[in-house]
Homo-oligomer: A and B are copies of this chain.
Amino acid sequence: MSKRHTSLKDLALELGVSISTVSRALKNHPDISPELTKKIRALAEERNYSPNPLAMGLLRQQTKMIGVIVPDINTHFYSSIISGIEKVAKERGYFIVISSSNESMQKEIESVENLLKSRVEGFIVCLSQETSQFKHFEKLVENEIPLVFFDRICENIEAPAVSANGQDATKKITQHFYENGCRRIAYISGPEHLNISQNRKVGYLNGLKECGLEFDPNLLINCNLSIEEAKLATKILLDLDEKPDAIFGINDTIAFAAMIEVKKQGYKIPEDISLAGFTDEFHSIVVDPPLTSVSHPTFEMGEEAAKLFFESVEQKKNIKKQVILPIDLVVRASSKKK
């Protein structure tokens, strides 16, 4: 088994001084004579001393751990956000413990419990698509445990949150389609209770309105975020008597699924049907035709979430603060008619 790390005690013993002296010397405390300080620091250097975080944690009552709960860790969207969180966490000497809810509320609840047992100091979470009750988060807020949401957020909980401006984005997409000649613009959305679904729907409706188009309920489909359901939704849209001439999905996965289905049925993109996605995964570029998409500032979103987290920690309470990040429409071939 790995050799023990050297402790203050080891150094103290070797130098024949007390532990507290060593501790002070290492922080250049003026009480300790310069020569002794020098000697101690030299030995510490040589022995490669670094303070034991467990002991420190015990003393200071802090673990320097942040619990991060995401629906899924294998998607670029989340892993990129995680990178952002990790960056600022590292800067502050914190590290993150990642737990995946797999889009299941049950697992999400378990994650909260387990992370709590591990004594994380707080949470940064993106709701699972199933999550419709929030007791497990309310309990955190009651106990004044820092909590920040990102992307999929819960409006009813007194917690800071970061999200992207989905409303603006869907409006822009809708208008973009309109400007490219589309008149029957369909939208495949996510589970209805998710705030992102709602926001984006609002943007979609506003966009239609501004373009002078009437909303046709047939053109709005809610589906869960799986490929299968998205294909099914696409099929339904394509089976309509009055088919859509544009489809956009609430994320790129949905859009990819739609693309597969649209192609399979022999429609040309974008001539027959324009397409747009909503996250701008790397692969949007490589797909054929390249997918028009709304690029999320994922890394920044992670950074922002982490910053909010530390604000909460410092203020010693959850601030109700919403950061809304702007998003960009990246137009590619899948939506350019001409």
Contacts and interface: CB of A to CB of B under 8 A. Distances in A.
A79 B74 contact: yes
Interface stretch (A9-17, A22-30, A116-124): A116-124
A310 interface: no
Given A74-B79, A76-B74, A76-B76, A2 B144 contact: yes
Contact of A283 (B3, B82, B117, B287): B287
Interface string A174-214: 00000000000000000000000000000000000000000
A98 interface: yes
A263 B118 CA distance: 51
Interface string A281-314: 1010111100000000000000000000000010
A43 interface: no
B97 A95 contact: yes
Given A100-B83, A256-B283, A287-B288, A119 B5 contact: yes
B286 A256 contact: yes
A4 interface: yes
Most chain B CB inside 10 Å of its own CB: which residue of A58, A75, A98, A286: A286
Most chain B CB inside 10 Å of its own CB: which residue of A2, A5, A82: A2
Contact of A73 (B82, B119, B144, B316): B82
A83 B73 contact: yes
A288 B287 CA distance: 6
Interface string A110-137: 0000001111011000000000000000
A316 B1 contact: yes
A60 to B, nearest CB: 10
A117 B2 contact: no
B100 A52 contact: no
A118 B98 contact: no
Contacts of A143: 2-3
A263 B3 CA distance: 56
Contacts of A322: none
Most chain B CB inside 10 Å of its own CB: which residue of A1, A100, A143, A313: A1
16 contacts: A1-B316, A2-B121, A2-B122, A2-B144, A2-B145, A3-B143, A4-B61, A53-B63, A55-B58, A73-B86, A79-B79, A96-B97, A260-B285, A281-B283, A283-B283, A286-B287
Interface of A: 1-5, 50, 52-55, 57-58, 61, 63, 73-76, 79-80, 82-83, 86, 95-98, 100, 116-119, 121-122, 143-146, 256, 259-260, 263, 281, 283, 285-288, 313, 316
Given A2-B121, A2-B144, A55-B58, 4 more contacts: A2-B122, A5-B119, A73-B82, A76-B76
